[in-house]
Amino acid sequence: MSQELTGKVALVCGASGGIGAAIAEQLMKDGATVWGLARSAEKLADMGLAGYLVADLDNLDALPSALEALPQENGGPAVDLLVNNTGGPAGGPILEADPFDFGIAFRRHVMASHILLQAVLPHMQAKNFGRILNIISTSVKEPIPQLGVSNTIRGAMAAWAKTVAKELPPGITINNLLPGFTDTPRLAALKSAAAQRRGVEEAQVEQDWLNSIPEGRLGRPEELAATAAFLLSPAASYIRGQSLAVDGGRLNSI
């Protein structure tokens, strides 16, 4: 069902695959003019986007200049809908994590998102409309075993977003989408790593995941994208500073 996004310009980070690609495709279906940002020009070029930015969110110094390729209006990129989405840190116990891995992940997630927000905010303020959506993780609600660095940084992103939500002017909202176990290349990599650590088959790891999900299956990227499109739409105007899990009922927290 269309979310009436005609006339809105979206910038979707991590648009070349997984949940990011699904969100970009859904927003296009709903009428938005969609720009993608990712490291792979080849993948972005095949998506039918209005345009794309080839950028690495680890390279913060180059990010502002990359944004100059976007249409400019009101003193900055003319973006109405911003989707912050990027690959998570490698898995592993937190006690074994390299301290510098926290800094790398913090830059990629929190600092990159803050740079993007500050860049597009003047246009949103001029239009009295804007939507910022962060694709994070259910670890915001319940830490996930063997994802020590990721748990820490995802929590920082949620705290950043809640703080931003208190300062944004009326009409501009920020929210977090928390994917559960979703069938993406990222999940496949985590499954492989978990199987290796445990000395079991990947099928056993996946079955253990499924046993924890009342819906009995992995999520699909398009299901996350449909929820994202709603949160980015004018219909979600009174939802602000929230973290919404789309996890098939796996979380135990209320």
The answer to whether position 51 is within a domain reads yes
> In 3D, which of 58, 125, 122 has the Cα closest to residue 89?
58
Which of 94-103, 158-167, 192-201, 227-236 is the least confident region?
192-201
The average pLDDT across 164-171 equals 98
Q: Between 196 and 125, name the one with better pLDDT.
A: 125
Using CB atoms within 10 A of its CB, is residue 179 exposed (0-12), middle (13-18) or buried (19+)? Answer: buried
Residue 1 reports pLDDT greater than 50 = no
**Mean predicted confidence (pLDDT) in 202-212:** 93
State the CATH number of the domain containing residue 131.
3.40.50.720
Q: Is residue 167 pLDDT above 50, yes or no?
A: yes
In total, how many domains does the chain have?
Answer: 1
**252 belongs to a structural domain:** no
Name 219's bridge partners.
Answer: 182
Q: What pTM did the predictor assign?
A: 0.94
Determine what percent of the chain is predicted with pLDDT higher than 70: 99
Per-residue confidence (pLDDT) for residue 31, from 0 to 100:
96
Domain that holds residue 23: 9-180+219-242
Q: What is the pLDDT of residues 62-118, one digit of tens each?
A: 999 999 999 999 999 999 999 999 988 888 999 999 999 999 999 999 999 999 999
pLDDT recorded at residue 3: 57
Residue 211 falls inside a structural domain: no
| Residue 148 placed within a domain | yes
